[in-house]
Amino acid sequence: MKSTFFLQWKYLFSFSNALKHFLGAFGFLWLFIEALAYFEPETVEPLRNHLSYFLIISLVWSLYKSWPSLNKTCKMGTEDTNIEIRVGDILKLNSDIVIPSNSTFDTDYETPIIGEKSLQANFSERYYKNIKKLDDEIDAALQGFEFDEIERTKGKTKRYPIGTVAKLKTGSQVSYWLAMSHTNETGGITGGFDEVQTALNNLWPFIRSHGIPDQVSIGAIGTRNLDLGKSREDMIYEIIDSFIRANKDGRVCEKLSIIIYTPDFAKHNMNLKELFEYLSFACKYSAKRALQT
């Protein structure tokens, strides 16, 4: 598995950009010396004999300005709405979080239904030491939603439609539990890209209708345990596109952060440069469309 540092430089470092900053810095320093020489020739002459100093300073400046970043933010449309792609840990951000779940909203991550390394399991362990308390809050949040009673040997028996959202709040942390897959009688997960698309198309209007938050963070949902037939990059493209479409009907939030889990970035050799370019294009295109309507 390649390191995050290696991939960061492989995909994001631009030699032409670094050269531009190097030449710009070197030219500025040389121009400064020439201007200073007009007034203080005796002081400047020794500096001209130490060209290596200028080269080192220019190189340091070039690396500083060209150092690859693991995040990019673009303004979307004519409104003050931003979309960000960031490599990191979604649980370390100070924002509302989208938690992928199944249509029965199972919570026991000590069973095979919910993976121990999943975002849901990590979130539950951090904020809900008592699973019964979590179940009670989910049940309360789902009051009034339609469901079907199903027979299962494992897990809960109330199945909600794909795209159902349960909004929870523990302290200042708000989470949106999103039903995006079904499970069979024995707890096996069923679902694919169509279900995830449906879930996203229901998520954004739900968030908008329950108060427009400052920031919502979401991972590359579905890529860990669903057979999507799509890459992680494709899933991120779909998140961007669905969010932009939803904003045509009204603002969803002030900022959407799409988080790529750091180990996944390295493990799956993800191309951040292409993701950043797609984000820039999508935001720019949405701005042009907004001006035309």
pLDDT on residue 238: 94
pLDDT on residue 10: 61
Report how far Cα 170 is from the mean position of its chain's Cα atoms.
Answer: 22
Please compute the mean of the pLDDT values over residues 154-180 and round it to a whole number: 91
pLDDT on residue 256: 96
Please compute the mean of the pLDDT values over residues 27-43 and round it to a whole number: 76
Greater pLDDT, 128 or 152 = 128
| Token pair listed for 30 | 């040389």
Task: Tell me the per-residue pLDDT of 222-280, one tens digit each, with 9 for 90 and over.
Answer: 877 766 778 889 999 999 999 999 998 888 999 999 999 888 887 877 888 889 999 99
For 286, counting Cβ atoms within 10 Å of its Cβ (0-12 exposed, 13-18 middle, 19+ buried), the class is: buried
pLDDT on residue 230: 82
pLDDT on residue 25: 82
Greater pLDDT, 58 or 204 = 204
pLDDT on residue 9: 57
pLDDT on residue 45: 67
pLDDT on residue 293: 42
CB-based contact 43:36 (threshold 8 Å): yes
Task: Tell me the per-residue pLDDT of 201-210, one tens digit each, with 9 for 90 and over.
Answer: 999 999 999 9
Cα(81)–Cα(249) distance, integer angstroms: 14
Q: What is the pTM of this model?
A: 0.78
Cα(288)–Cα(284) distance, integer angstroms: 6
Binned at pLDDT 50, 70 and 90, residue 84 comes out as very high
Q: What's the CA dihedral at 226, 71, 274, 229 to 10 degrees?
A: 0
Is residue 1 predicted with pLDDT exceeding 50? no
Binned at pLDDT 50, 70 and 90, residue 76 comes out as confident
pLDDT on residue 181: 87
pLDDT on residue 12: 55
Is residue 179 predicted with pLDDT exceeding 80? yes
pLDDT on residue 113: 66
pLDDT on residue 292: 44
pLDDT on residue 189: 72
Cα(240)–Cα(146) distance, integer angstroms: 29
pLDDT on residue 44: 67
At the second CATH level, the architecture of 71-292 is: 3-Layer(aba) Sandwich (3.40)
Amino acid at 6: F
Is residue 79 predicted with pLDDT exceeding 70? no
Cα(60)–Cα(58) distance, integer angstroms: 6
Greater pLDDT, 193 or 255 = 255
**Mean of all residue pLDDT scores within the chain:** 82
Q: Kindly state the percentage of the chain with pLDDT values over 90.
A: 33
Binned at pLDDT 50, 70 and 90, residue 186 comes out as low
Where along the chain do its domains lie? 4-66, 71-292
The residues that bridge with 217 in the sheet, in sequence order, are 97, 257
